[in-house]
Amino acid sequence: MKLKTPCEVSHKTLTFDVEEIEPILQGYPMDMKPWPGAMVTLKDGREMYIREAKLEEAPLMLTYLEKVMKVEHDFYDIVGARVYSEVLGWYRKRLKDPYTLVGMIDGEWVGFANGRLMNKDINISLHTMALARGGRIGAVMYYAKAYYGFEILGNKEWWATYESYNGWMRWGVGMAQPSYPWPDVQHELGGARVYYVTKEYWDQAVKTYVQQMIGADLVFDVPDKLIKANEIMRLPEEVVV
């Protein structure tokens, strides 16, 4: 688009260094406390370690997500495709204040949960995935990110939505989440209904969710041995969902 200049200018052309454009496209990050890492004992006795994914692990995760997005049952395809774009958005710095948690057992990637901060009060839950089924790994991963939001980041509200029946059953029903009027209020994932948890409701009821689901809590005092065993991410050999 061009318009005639309203005054004389000495330089008709201005050039930009792309590093000057980047802060405008990227925005500046909020000062987020890191997820400290936690372990949890699953129903079958295995210890899952939940840690932040490392940025340099993103390309590896993307190779696996390419396979997950081809799974045509239980909505793994749509969730896989969207998670692919979110991990890439995090990697390429095109997502505002994201957090990316991975569930690991003996170095193998078994669970995923991510979200982003809309602002200091509202935490947008994006996606949760169990890469191994039957252990309630997904239930725990979702709880861990909500715990992160309310207990560590000091958020006041949690906004989620559901693409799958399993997701809706696990948390929409499982946490008895109310929803905002729709379509007046829409979640950024496709404009669906926003289900929410307030800090007050979290404190009163939801905090016991994971104890009820698997009979154990998150433990933050994690032995070095477990941390070390899960330092290097290994992809599952195949997609088993």
Ligand X SMILES: CC(C)(COP(=O)(O)OP(=O)(O)OC[C@H]1O[C@@H](n2cnc3c(N)ncnc32)[C@H](O)[C@@H]1OP(=O)(O)O)[C@@H](O)C(=O)NCCC(=O)NCCS
Least Å from the CB of residue 70 to ligand X: 13
202 Cβ contact partners less than 8 Å away, ≥ 6 residues apart: 146, 150, 158
Q: Starting from the edge strand earliest in sequence, which strands make up the sheet with 98-105, in order?
A: 38-41, 47-52, 98-105, 108-117, 122-130, 157-160, 195-198
Q: Which amino acid is at 1?
A: M
Least Å from the CB of residue 1 to ligand X: 41
Other beta carbons within 10 angstroms of residue 27's beta carbon come to 11
CB 105, CB 46: distance < 8 Å: yes
Query: Which CB atom, from 90 or from 162, has the smaller least distance to ligand X?
Result: 162
Query: Which CB atom, from 32 or from 192, has the smaller least distance to ligand X?
Result: 192
Place of tokens 């009821």: 205
Least Å from the CB of residue 166 to ligand X: 4
Closest CB to ligand X: residue number: 138
Least Å from the CB of residue 41 to ligand X: 15
Spatial separation of the C-alpha atoms in residues 124 and 118, rounded to whole Å: 6
Least Å from the CB of residue 139 to ligand X: 4
Query: Which CB atom, from 100 or from 166, has the smaller least distance to ligand X?
Result: 166
Query: Which CB atom, from 100 or from 128, has the smaller least distance to ligand X?
Result: 128
Query: Which residues form the interface with ligand X (CB under 6 A)?
Result: 74-76, 79, 127-130, 133-134, 136-139, 162-164, 166-167, 170
CB 64, CB 236: distance < 8 Å: yes
Query: Which CB atom, from 120 or from 217, has the smaller least distance to ligand X?
Result: 217
CB 127, CB 200: distance < 8 Å: no
> Which phi and psi (to 5°) does residue 240 adopt?
-120, 10
Query: Which CB atom, from 52 or from 77, has the smaller least distance to ligand X?
Result: 77
Least Å from the CB of residue 22 to ligand X: 32
Integer CA distances (angstroms), 93 to 24, 45, 89, in order: 12, 37, 6
